């Protein structure tokens, strides 16, 4: 169900007043509606189902080679301050007879990112859906992101990057597999 844009716009207008702004001045006249539209899009992941998104785009392929899609752009909003965080997601998996259509991995990242999120949760959600959707032998997901809630306010550290990873199956159980993943995405094991 889509959010009620009229209610969101009304609340944004009230928020502008509470912040000391005049919502009737020229630059803000349409801001409540714009914010409502933006928030509806930025939270569309709540209204997207992973199975429908994948929609059968998993294909039979006998291979035991690692599959990697790296540098998938990530844009999300932290659930604590509703400020953006952004960066790159790297996904690797070892199939067990089924592979993804390559664009579906990027779409899965977007689906989970378009929610109020914690980077840690986002990383876990992506790895689990990849693992479960194709019964992979193993999955590795790493996200490197910059958080505006840390850059614009609070500690105001503009050059900090948060790195999270989730490894399942053989990526967790086999150090050489994990090291291969890190090497192929251009990172080194600690």
Residue 90 is a catalytic residue: no
Residue 79 is a catalytic residue: yes
Residue 80 is a catalytic residue: yes
Given the residues 89, 90, 117, 119, select the one marked as catalytic. Answer: 119
Q: Do 16 and 52 touch, CB atoms closer than 8 A?
A: no
Given the residues 21, 33, 81, 124, select the one marked as catalytic. Answer: 81
Given the residues 21, 33, 58, 149, select the one marked as catalytic. Answer: 149
Residue 58 is a catalytic residue: no
Given the residues 14, 73, 79, 179, select the one marked as catalytic. Answer: 79
Listed in sequence order, the DSSP H helices in the chain are 5-18, 31-42, 50-54, 102-113, 119-134, 148-151, 170-173, 175-184
| Beta-bridge partner residues of 77 | 84, 116
Given the residues 78, 89, 125, 180, select the one marked as catalytic. Answer: 78
Residue 149 is a catalytic residue: yes
Q: Which residues are CB-contacts of 26 (< 8 A; sequence separation ≥ 6)?
A: none
List the end-to-end C-alpha distance of the chain, in Å, as a whole number. Answer: 44
Given the residues 14, 61, 73, 80, select the one marked as catalytic. Answer: 80
Q: Which residues are catalytic?
A: 78-81, 119, 147, 149
């Amino acid at each position: 169900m889509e959010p009620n844009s009229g209610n969101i716009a009304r609340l944004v207008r009230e928020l502008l007043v509470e912040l000391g702004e005049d919502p009737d001045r020229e630059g803000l006249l349409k801001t409540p509606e714009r914010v409502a539209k933006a928030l509806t899009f930025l939270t569309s992941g709540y209204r997207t189902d992973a199975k429908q998104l994948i929609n059968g785009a998993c294909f039979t392929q006998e291979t035991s080679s690692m599959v990697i899609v790296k540098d998938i752009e990530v844009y999300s909003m932290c659930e604590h301050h509703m400020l953006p965080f952004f960066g790159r997601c790297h996904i690797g998996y070892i199939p067990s007879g089924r592979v993804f259509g390559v664009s579906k991995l990027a779409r899965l990242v977007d689906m989970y990112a378009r929610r109020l999120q914690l980077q840690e949760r986002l990383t876990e959600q992506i790895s689990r859906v990849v693992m479960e959707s194709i019964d992979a032998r193993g999955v590795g997901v790493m996200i490197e992101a910059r958080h505006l809630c840390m850059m614009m306010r609070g500690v105001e550290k503009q050059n900090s990057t948060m790195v999270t990873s989730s490894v399942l199956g053989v990526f967790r159980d086999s150090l050489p597999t994990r090291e291969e993943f890190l090497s192929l995405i251009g990172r080194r094991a600690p």
